[in-house]
Each structure stands twice: as structure tokens, then as C-alpha cells.
Structure 1
Amino acid sequence: MPPQEIKTKTISLFAFNLMLAIWLGVFLNIVFYEKIQALTPYTGIKSGLFITASVIVVAATYYFILQIFSWTWTAKPLAIVLVVMGGFASYVVTSLGVLITPDQIQNLMQTDIAEVRDIWSWDLVVWGLGMVVLPTIVILSVTLKSESFLQQIWKKAVSLVLSLLLITGLLFIFYVDFSAIFRENRDLKEMISPQNLIASVASYYKHKAPKQNLALLSYGEDAIMQAKSVSTLPKLMVLVVGETARAESFSLNGYEKETNPKLSKQDILNFSQVSSCGTATAVSVPCMFSGMPRKAYDEQLASHREGLLDIAKRAGYQVTWIDNNSGCKGACDRVEQFKIPESLQQKWCNEGECFDGILIDSLKAYLAALDQKDKQPRLIVLHQIGSHGPAYYRRVPPQFKVFNPTCETNAIQGCTREQLINSYDNSLLYTDHILDVLIKTLKNTTQYQTALWYLSDHGESTGESGMYLHGAPYAIAPTQQTHIPMLMWFSDAWKQHAKKQVQCLAQQAKDELSQDNLFPTILSLLDIKSKIINPKNDMLDTCLNP
């Protein structure tokens, strides 16, 4: 049809809303229907009838909603908003297998330019042209037939009744099937676009968005550091917060590929059964520093209450945060944040992203600036970019791309399984190098008792069960997203003065642990006492005070 005819095409509001409902309900949700089909026990004609009923219910529901909110004067703006939201939400679900949840909205709100750039790809551009731009052009091209308000009311009333009867009729006929599937798979609704995005944004602003001007609540005000002999060296603990590393891909935990060749030669304590507090940085990082266990975690409270770093600072530690990620999510707001020198940024960074080697040089620069007679105990947190996806290839310098072939794009769904896994494993190999050099640096820091504690914030899916990246609802998250690596290293000087503590920790190498253990255990390791330390989660209390 010639362009001039498209521009003058006139249709009724009834037809406009029906076509929009079909677009939203059918074409944006193919993966959802595939999932439904996989969960139904039927085959052949019965399966086809059930899937058809599912498609009609979703499309008719969208039509019902449109008939309420879409009028002649609101139809086009509303349609464009829904097409844009639905198109991009569908891309995330279809291409990456990522469910749209309030946690994902939280991740989006806390992301930075570098992370946004990592998601951009030509696949996204092509998808956007076909699923967003083209339907938007069609919407702008049509002319809605002029009808009186009473005519619209009458037609809407009839169509609302008919669509409601269709929806309830099909739900009644297939009630047992829908009930069984959705009762056991509550996350399915997070696959339906654009409903998933709209509901998640609303839930985020209702429950998760930071409240403004909340008073800071003190926590652990009684925290004190136990007095030590004047001949004892002060303690210096380096806490490395990893990014997107999963335990099952660490050769220390039995993975067949050698992803930890250097750490395997260090005298470390490796904990093989550790779970995260969340499946995204925006949840796990503030949670692990909050002092609240995962099941009782309240992110609104955590956002305006003192945490681990505040308590360590109050007890007498110099606390410093060194970041190579998208920030500390509020955990370090009231402690020193090391400004990485421009010279190191030029050495390690490109287009706003830096290799984790910058953390090694930053720690060395920090230590070199200290007075050799310095006696203040120190807690230093290093926040990695680690294995942050989807651009795993950007996290690794060329010399560490040992496993080949690799996936040299952020459109990871277009890579082979072998390429994707190799790229992810290379990022872990680089983390192995980073931790190894940090340990060697601390070995040479002789004016302190030194120690290193590493744990990842969460894990990562790399195509298992069609899922990529992270951020799945915790209740249904695969182990790839919740089972994280954790290890510790202690210098000879530290072990000399705390031999029983190190032995106690070593006994728990294969125990089921979690990020809940970080808060009380690290305070105990730093000789900090407070009534807020929960002995149940304190790894040292387990065997020192049975």
C-alpha cells in the first residue's frame, strides 16, 4: 500500500484497540507461550487448544484494559508508551531469559553509563526497529474514526462484557490447568510484556525506591575494640567484594577447567557451600553489610541505618572503600572512599571501564602512602567489576583470554555455548590472578597482621535452562545465581596471634554458609565486640564458644 494511503487509513477505536491488544498479547510474548506449552501435560490437539486459550486470555485481557483506558484522545499516546515498554521488556525476556521484577528495576535505577553501554548491541537495535519503531510508525500513520462520546460508551460497554465473558469462560474451561501451572510457577507473570514492566516499576516505587530525608539510625553504638598487647601488630583486613562469580565455575570447588591455578597454590581457606543474600548487586551488597540476615532483610531500613563499615569505624578502624564497579549501594557512604589517581585510570581504563588490575595498583598506592610507624588498624574494601555481564570479554586483558574460542560481543545469545562459557571462565581466571597478587602484596606488608576475605555478591546464569545474567527472584533463582565462591587468607603474623580462630574457620570449609556470616564474623576477626553481633551467624563462635 502506498505511503499516502497508509497516512489516510481510517479505523475505529474498537479496531485500533483490538489490533494493539493482539500485538501486545501475542507477538510480544512468544517465549511465555513456549514456557506454558512446556509446562502443560498435553500433547497434540489438546496442547494446541490450551495454548490457543492462553493466547486468547492474554490478548482479551489487554483488550479489556485498553477499552477502559484508551479513548479517541488518549489512544495513540497510550499505544506508543505500551509498544515501547512492551518491546524492550520482551527483548530482555526473549533474548536473555531474564524475568522483569522489581529487583531488576532497582538494578536499572542504580546502574551507570558503562553498564548501560554493555547491554547495547546490534541485536537490540534490530529488535528495536522491528518491535518498537515499526509499530510506532503504524500507530502514527492511522487516523481514528470520529465518534461521539455516547457511541464510544455504548461500544465499550458491549466489548467489555464480551471480552470478560470470553476470559472467564476460557479460565473456567481450563481452570485446573491454569491453576496447577501458575500455582507452581508464580514467576510466569514476570514473562508477560508489558505487564511485567508496568507492575515491576509500580512495585519498585511502592516498596523499594529510597525514601528521602530519612534520619540516619545508629547501630552498634556499643562497639569497642578489645585491647591487645602493645607488642602485637595492628590488623589490616582487605575485604574483596567480587562481582557475578559463581562457585560452580571455580576449580577450587571441583570445576573441570583450571580457573584457579594461582589460588590453588596459596595457603587459603576455601568455603565451597556459600549462598548469596540476593541475585543482584543492588540487593546483595547492602544486605551483606547491613547486619540483617537474608530472610529478615529490610532494604528500606538498611538504606538509612549504620552498617558493618560504620561499626568498624566507630570501634577504631580506619575504613576505606576502593571501587571498580558501579558504587557501594550506600554501604560506604560514611567512610573514606579512595580516589584512584589519574595515572592509574589512564593505565587500566578504556571508555569508562577499568580492568580489576586497577584495584591492585590502588591498594599498593594506598599502602605506600602510609607511615611505616602507623599503628591504626585498617579495613579496606575492594569492589571488583569481576565477571559482570553480558560483556564478559571486556573484563579480561588479552593475556588472560586462555580459554578459546570466546564470545567477543555483548549480544551473548548469539554466541555458541562454548564461546560464552570460555569468556565467562576467562573472567574468573583473571579474578584468580587479581586475588593472587593481592595476597602477595599483603604478604609483603609487614607492619600489620594482614588478611584477605573474598566473596562474590551473587552468581550468574550463562544459558542454563534458557536463563542468562542474574537478578532472578530468589525463590526460583537457579543455583548458578545464588551459589557463590568465598575464600580467606591469613598472614603468618595473623595466624601466630589467632591460631585457634583460623583453625576454627578451616573446620567449616564444607559447611553450608552464606553472606549472613560476613557481618558478625568479620567483626569478631577484627576483635570488635558489640551486643548486635549475632553469635548464630558468627563463624568463630561456632567452635570457640560451643
Structure 2
Amino acid sequence: MLAFISKNKISLPLALFNGLVACWLAGFTNLSFYRNISQLSSYQGMSNYLFVFVTFILLSSFYFFVLQLLNWRRTAKPLSIILVIMTGMTSYFVNQLGVEVSTAQIENVAQTDLHETLDLLSFPFLLWCLLTVVLPVVVLSFLQIQPQSFKKVILTKVASLVVALAVMGGGLFSFYSQYAPIFREHRQLKAQISPMNVLSSGTSYIRKQFKHANKPLVAYGQDAHVVIPATQRQPKILVLVVGETARAQNFSLDGYSKNTNPELSKLDILNFNNVSSCGTQTSVSVPCMFSGMPRKDYDEGLASHREGLLDIVQRAGYQVTWIDNNSGCKGTCTRIKNYISPKDDPRYQKWCDHGECRDGILIDALTDYLKTLDMKNLKQNQLIVLHQMGSHGPAYYKRYPAEFKKFTPICETNNIQNCDHQALINTYDNTIVYTDHILASTIDLLKQQPVASSMLYLSDHGESTGESSLYLHGTPYMVAPKEQTHIPMLLWFSQNWSERHHIYQCLSHYKDSAWSQDNLFPTVLGLLNVQTQVYDQKLDMLSSCKGQI
């Protein structure tokens, strides 16, 4: 094969080679970008086609300009192959799933685990890579760059750079009245342009990692202590369930037409139907909700090296335990004493398939953990966090056992953009039915304990399932649809939780109020009777009920 390629190589000048690569990078792999910019323009018919064509010329000229600056005879092919691979692999998710490659998405990829990554692989993805990665790389292998004198190379580069700038200037000037408002109002469009999106977002992510690395830990809530109410005779347990990718609009508790909450609907719970997330992906929402910073003031850099909710509760005297069936706690539980990963424990492998486990594993792990506590003589208050796999996509069909396949037909593939939309919704709804079962089972387990207990559940973010041609999550918050930001949240108390009756009676008046993940931090502190100067009473969901408790 190598001998055949060597004998049949086509010799090209460096400038022509760079021009061909630039046109490829700007072309077919950016179809979604061209489609969107076409829809946002004010032109119709041939004028719109011309506008899109000029946009292609502009993008090609920009890539050509960059390649002419960077590429030299010996480096041109390796660098071009890297760009082609990068473009082909990421453009599939942009074009087929509507994913925008932002800094947050790069962070999401960097923090995910192998099993979640494998769920993104599918036959259409491999076919796309064949067309946009393998074939172009094969073509590049047949091209050979002509040797030229250094003087001629420099003169050609200077002349071509001037021409590229002139083309870009002419194109921008011709349609400035279109480009200016489009990119001012729709800045997320740049996250759809491959490979610029990966290079820009990747560089931003790496710079951010270096900026935040090795910073000293900032103490927070050092004055935290528990004030035990006179009515509390013994320690209590709060189980905080952090859901994954569940959206409120598919909870029948929140008005969805299909019965996705058959078990919870029979229980005495408080459901809040107007709750929003801090972010549209786990790597943002989870640190944000535990940080004590409201979304509008959230500083990811500060949150990465400042103590949060779990540190404060542990300092106040609670035993804090994190039980994980996801890809970790995103730094929020780094300093707690008990971290349990049941998917790595041979005792729980009945829930797992090739390292990926269903959420029933959390119930088994919680059951075993509670057995280690002497409930009749419990000495220490407990905060236990369960981190679900929940409704994580795109392989929704893997998230629940066969007995929870309540809605059919289903989408039994991770190639969700090609599924019948109703089948896709059915599959997603089945994940919600299973989450309903997990939450009801948690409540049932807590009911069996002789101590006062409570469960608080909220999802980290929502999910798009084809609405407006968007799939999955991670869309920049400013433009994210409600499917990705409107999340479920509910609260349950055992009969022997002393303030139960008054809390239910009071909060039932506020179940339709606008809440968010901003309320988690102070509400948990309030529930656990933890006092500290960093507690913000205005954001505590229970603050309006304090006078009644």
C-alpha cells in the first residue's frame, strides 16, 4: 500500500495544497453552520444562496490564511491530517445532534468516563468518520508538496496572505449588514464552525486549567455548627439525590400527560414544578449547586478551590457520604471522609454491564451503608448524597431494566437522531419511570429506619430530545431551551421528622414558585440546622416557614 502511494503521489505547490485543505475544512463538515446562518439572514432565493457561498469563501480564506502562516513543506501534511481528524470527528455531533462545541463541552468531554464516551459511538458516527476523516487522510497521503526555494516560498506566502486578506475584507464589506447582527445576537454560531470551535474552546479550557491549578484551598463557612432543636431527640438522616439529565416536562408530577411517576405519585411528597438549573451540563451544575454561589455570580475558578456545602456540613459535625453511579462528584466531595463507588465493588455487579451500571446499584449500596450504622444508638447526623446515572444519553435504552420498558416502541440505539421521535421520547420516558422507582425505593428504605429522615431530589440539568433539531445537553445557558434548564425537584420527610407537618403545610403554598439550584445550598443548611455566616436566609426555601416550625 505504501509503495503504491509512493508511486502515485501528486505533486502540488504548498499554496495550492493549503488552499485545498482550507476548502475542505470550510466545506462539507460545516453544513449545520451554513444552514443556520442561511436561516438567520434576511435574504431569500438566489440572494441567500449567494450569501451562503460568500460565507464559505470567507471561511475558506480564513483557514487558508492560517495554514499559510503555519504550514511549511515538512509540517504541512502532519498538521493538515490533525485538523482533518479533529474536524471530522467533532463535526458529526454538530451536524447530526446539534451539539455546540464550546469550552463547557470540552470540559464535559474531559471529565466524562470511558463508558459514557463509548455510548457516543455508533455506526453512523463511524460512517461519518470514514467519509470525513479516513478518505481525506488517504487523499492527503497521495499529495506531495513540491520543493521550492526559500525565497519563492516567502514571496508566495506574502502574496497569498495579501490576497486572502483582500478576499476576507471584500466578503465582510459586501454582507456586513448581515454578518454584524447575526454574530452579535447569535454568538453561539462560532461553536458550530469546525475545527475553529475545537481549537478555540480547547485552548480556552487548557488555559483555564492552568489558571486554576494548584491554587490554595479557600476556607468557607468556618463558623459552621449545628443548633439542635429542642424537639430533636436523636440524630437524623438527609439523603440528597442528585439526578442526571432529567427534565421536568417529562415528569407526570409536573403535568406531563404520560404517567412517568407511578410510584412517587402515591407518596406524601412535596413537588416543586418551577425549578431551573445552574448550568446545562454536569460539570457546571454540580459544582455550582454545591458552591454557595448563585448562578448569576457563579465563579467556576473560585468554586474549584473553595470549600462548599459538603465541607461546611462535615465541619458542623455531620458524617457526609457520597455514593456515586456517575462519573464522579466534579470536585464537590474531594475532602469528605466517605466516598463509595459501588460500580467498582464486586458485590453489586448484577447491576452492571461492562462497567456501566443501572441506578438500582445505589439502593443496594445505600442499604448496605445504613446497615453499618447503629440506628438504635445513632450518634452522628448523616448527610448521604446519591449521584445517579439517571437519564444520561444518548443510550437511554441502557438506563433501565427490561421491566421498566413501560412505553413502546423504543429507540434501541445511541444513533438517536435517526430514531422515530415518538420512539425516542418513549425511551427517555422509561428512564424517568426508572428514576421514579429509584426515588420511591429510597423513600421506602428510609421509612424502615427508626430515626428521622428526609430525601431531597433534584436533577443536575435537563435534556433535548430533538426539539428544534437539538439533542443531548450542554447548549450555552443564554440560548439553552427550557428542555435543558427546567428540572424536577421534590422533598420528602419521614413521620418522625419533628417539623414535617409544618413544613408540608407551609411549603405547599410555594410549590409553584420560581426556585432554582441556587436554593439548594441554604435549604440543605436549614434542613440540617447548620448555622453559619455564609447561610443566606433569603434563598432558603424553608425561610418563609421558619415562624411556623
Query: What TM bracket, shorter-length normalisation?
Result: over 0.9
Matching residue of 2:525: 523
Counterpart selection for 1:348 from 341, 346, 351: 351
Counterpart selection for 1:366 from 361, 365, 369: 369
Matching residue of 2:447: 443
- State the one-letter code of the partner of 1:463: G
Query: Aligned partners of 2:11 and 2:35: how far apart in 1?
Result: 35
User: What CA deviation, in whole Å up to 9, does each residue of 1:322-376 have, x standing for no partner?
Assistant: 0000000111111111253835422211100111001111111111221131131
Secondary structure of the residue aligned to 1:380 is strand
User: What CA deviation, in whole Å up to 9, does each residue of 1:438-472 have, x standing for no partner?
Assistant: 111111112x1110000000000111111110111
1:156: Cα distance to partner?
1.3
TM-score, normalised via structure 1 length: 0.97
Query: Aligned partners of 2:106 and 2:233: how far apart in 1?
Result: 48
Change in Cα spacing, 1:111 to 1:6, as seen in structure 2 (3 Å) is farther
Matching residue of 1:472: 475
Matching residue of 2:329: 328
Query: Aligned partners of 1:115 and 1:134: how far apart in 2?
Result: 27
Matching residue of 1:221: 222
Secondary structure of the residue aligned to 1:28 is helix
8 Å contact from structure 2 (residues 245, 392) kept in 1:
yes
Matching residue of 2:425: 421
TM-score, normalised via structure 2 length: 0.96
Change in Cα spacing, 1:410 to 1:474, as seen in structure 2 (3 Å) is same
Structure 1 unpaired stretches of 5+? none
Query: Aligned partners of 2:409 and 2:499: how far apart in 1?
Result: 48
Query: Aligned partners of 1:210 and 1:232: how far apart in 2?
Result: 48
Matching residue of 2:161: 160
Counterpart selection for 1:504 from 503, 506, 514: 506
1:545: Cα distance to partner?
6.5
Aligned residues: 543
Query: Aligned partners of 1:362 and 1:307: how far apart in 2?
Result: 25
Counterpart selection for 2:465 from 433, 448, 462: 462
Query: Aligned partners of 1:463 and 1:227: how far apart in 2?
Result: 49
Secondary structure of the residue aligned to 1:232 is coil
Structure 1 stretch 70-79 or stretch 482-491: which is displaced more? 70-79
Matching residue of 1:402: 406
User: What CA deviation, in whole Å up to 9, does each residue of 1:122-169 have, x standing for no partner?
Assistant: 111111111111111111221111111111111111111111111111
User: What CA deviation, in whole Å up to 9, does each residue of 1:471-525 have, x standing for no partner?
Assistant: 111111111111100000111111x335433333322200111000000011011
- State the one-letter code of the partner of 2:176: Y
8 Å contact from structure 1 (residues 252, 260) kept in 2:
yes
1:21: Cα distance to partner?
0.7
Change in Cα spacing, 1:230 to 1:493, as seen in structure 2 (3 Å) is closer
Matches within 5 A, 1:108-187: 108-187=109-188
Matching residue of 1:44: 45
8 Å contact from structure 1 (residues 458, 481) kept in 2:
yes
Matches within 5 A, 1:264-343: 264-335=265-336, 336-340=338-342, 342-343=345-346
1:121: Cα distance to partner?
1.2
8 Å contact from structure 1 (residues 6, 142) kept in 2:
no
8 Å contact from structure 1 (residues 344, 362) kept in 2:
no
Query: Aligned partners of 1:208 and 1:249: how far apart in 2?
Result: 36
User: What CA deviation, in whole Å up to 9, does each residue of 1:518-544 have, x standing for no partner?
Assistant: 000110111111110012211122343
User: What CA deviation, in whole Å up to 9, does each residue of 1:200-222 have, x standing for no partner?
Assistant: 00111122567333222211011
Matches within 5 A, 1:184-263: 184-208=185-209, 211-229=212-230, 232-263=233-264
User: What CA deviation, in whole Å up to 9, does each residue of 1:153-193 have, x standing for no partner?
Assistant: 11111111111111111111111011121111111111000
Matching residue of 1:540: 542
Is 1:61 aligned to residue 57 of structure 2? no
8 Å contact from structure 1 (residues 242, 385) kept in 2:
yes
Q: Identity, % of aligned pairs?
A: 52
Matching residue of 1:104: 105
8 Å contact from structure 2 (residues 5, 141) kept in 1:
no
8 Å contact from structure 2 (residues 108, 283) kept in 1:
yes
8 Å contact from structure 1 (residues 504, 544) kept in 2:
no
1:299: Cα distance to partner?
1.4
8 Å contact from structure 1 (residues 7, 143) kept in 2:
no
Query: Aligned partners of 2:526 and 2:232: how far apart in 1?
Result: 20
Matching residue of 1:34: 35
Matching residue of 1:489: 492
Change in Cα spacing, 1:508 to 1:141, as seen in structure 2 (3 Å) is same
Query: Aligned partners of 2:514 and 2:228: how far apart in 1?
Result: 32
1:382: Cα distance to partner?
0.3
8 Å contact from structure 1 (residues 344, 361) kept in 2:
no
Query: Aligned partners of 1:437 and 1:543: how far apart in 2?
Result: 28
